[in-house]
Structure formats: C-alpha cells, structure tokens
Amino acid sequence: MRISAGYEITFDCPAPTPMLLQLSVHPSRVGDLETPDVMVTDPMVSVSQYHDLFGNFVSRILAPAGRIVLRNRFVIRDSGAYDAPLPEAGQLPVEDLPDDVILYLLGSRYCETDQLSNLAWTLFGGVAPGSARVQAILDYVHRHITFGYEHARATKTALEAHEEQFGVCRDFAHLAITLCRCMNIPARYCTGYLGDIGVPISPAPMDFSAWFEVYLDGAWRTCDARHNTPRIGRVLMARGRDATDAAISTAFGTAFLAGFTVITDELPERQSASL
C-alpha cells in the first residue's frame, strides 16, 4: 500500500519565537519513504534536527515575527495490514522489566497514576494480568469517553478526561495509558498519521492521531482506545511518556495557530504526490 501524507500548519507570532516541531516520520519508518520527508517553511528559515531521548526526530526553527507556514507532502509505503490483535500474552513482573521500560510505569504530566490507582485496581484488579487486563482497560475507556473535537483542550489530563467523559484521541490515550501503568503494565504514548483507510470516510477534518503501546511478554503492542478495533495505515511520528514528549509543536513564546490541515490518503500503486 502507498500512502500520501502531509500537513500545512500556520502560526502567527508577535515576535521571533523559537519552536520545536515533531512533524517528521519516526526513524523506524524512514526506510518506507518513497519521497523525501522534508518540511518546507514560508518564509524560509533555517531548520535543524536532532534525536531526542525517546528516539524521535525533533526540528528546531526560529519563527520570525508575523506569519509562518509549515508544509510537507510525502509518499510512504505501508504493509496494508491491520494492527496486530493483542496476543494471549502475560505481563512481566515489575522486577523483571528491562531498565528502559520502567519509565513507562511512572506518572507523567498528563498521566496521574497516583490519583487513578485506586480506581484502576477497583475496576481491573479482578481481571487476569496481561492482554485480558489491557483489553478490559481499552473497552472501559472506549465506552467511558465520548469523542468530539469541540472537547479538545491542551491542558486536559487523564483524570480530567475521566471526570468529564469527553475528549479527543489524545485523551483516550492518556486515560488508557494511566490505567495500564496503575496496573503495572508499561504504556507509552504515540502520535502520527491515521487516515480513513479501510473504514468509512469521516466528514470531520483530518487530524493527527494519538494511540499508545503496551509492553507485554517482552514486546511493545499497538493499542487504540478511541477506535478499539484494528486499523490500517498508521504512520508513526513520535513516542514518549505522554503528549508532552510527542508534542507536534512547542513554542518558547507566543505562537497563535492560524491554520491546520492534515492529509492522509491511500494512493494507487503508480500514482505519486508532490508538494
């Protein structure tokens, strides 16, 4: 399968503003690119890039005062396979987890494990550890939160999402991650492209998507509490503890979002996309 993906994002900055941007395809998917994954800026500014502590590509720019447009369009190959279902897998005891996985049991900016632990053990303590417990958490979050773009709020935490029962995909992910961590299941946040491939086309505007991964039987497994069903064509951009580590943009100053378009389409085998 070939997927055409990209974005056009516009910011208005009252003054020159340093920004970090996580808009590149994740290093694990670079080998699948058919065309370059290059961010174009208007006006043209210098773009540098580094790998962060989680292995993501991060771009650095100094946005000038006024309006700046960031855009990209690329083609990437995908297996076309649905997400692998959760296997009949157990969870490792905490003492047997690898050192680099322990981090994903801890509370973080949007995942208040200390405040949701009692709820998690009340709801899921009687469910068999491992994949059965993860699926129970997925089912609960999927039922508990109602999706709606009008409910998006950049500061909303897992606890607030649980109490309000409304949110967007990142809120589904944050709540499910938190409940997993409370049950000693390592879980990490993911963001990227997920188009309407293999499902009915949604009338809502396309956006980046958030999902998460859990660590079971020595491997990371893809989970999606918003959809709670296998999907086709995920294109990972970034992973981390929560949305803080995988933020699309981080401005060190004032930057007003003035335009936002995301594109994710399946292409015929011989068609290509251009900027």
**What's the pTM value of the predicted model, to 2 decimals?**
0.94
pLDDT at residue 272 tops 90: no
* Digit-coded pLDDT (tens) for 168-226: 999 999 999 999 999 999 999 999 999 999 998 888 888 999 999 999 999 999 999 99
pLDDT, residue 205, reads 82
* Digit-coded pLDDT (tens) for 20-40: 999 999 999 999 999 999 999
pLDDT, residue 202, reads 83
Pick the CATH number of 94-231 from 3.40.30.10, 3.10.620.30, 3.40.50.300, 3.65.10.10: 3.10.620.30
Sequence ranges of the chain with CATH classification 2.60.40.2250: 2-80+248-267
* Digit-coded pLDDT (tens) for 226-243: 999 999 999 999 999 999
* Digit-coded pLDDT (tens) for 51-85: 999 999 999 999 999 999 999 999 999 999 999 99
2-80+248-267: what CATH class?
mainly beta
* CA 93 to chain CA mean position, Å: 27
pLDDT, residue 105, reads 98
Sequence ranges of the chain with CATH classification 3.10.620.30: 94-231
pLDDT at residue 89 tops 80: yes
pLDDT, residue 8, reads 98
The amino acid sitting at 201 is I
pLDDT at residue 274 tops 70: no
pLDDT at residue 95 tops 50: yes
d(CA 69, CA 166): 31
Question: CA-CA distances (angstroms) from residue 76 to 42, 181, 205, 232?
Answer: 24, 33, 21, 13
pLDDT, residue 275, reads 43
Question: What mean pLDDT is predicted for residues 146-150?
Answer: 92
Question: What mean pLDDT is predicted for residues 121-126?
Answer: 98
Beta-bridge partners for 166? 146
Q: Sort strands 209-216 and 187-193 into parallel, antiparallel or unpaired.
A: antiparallel
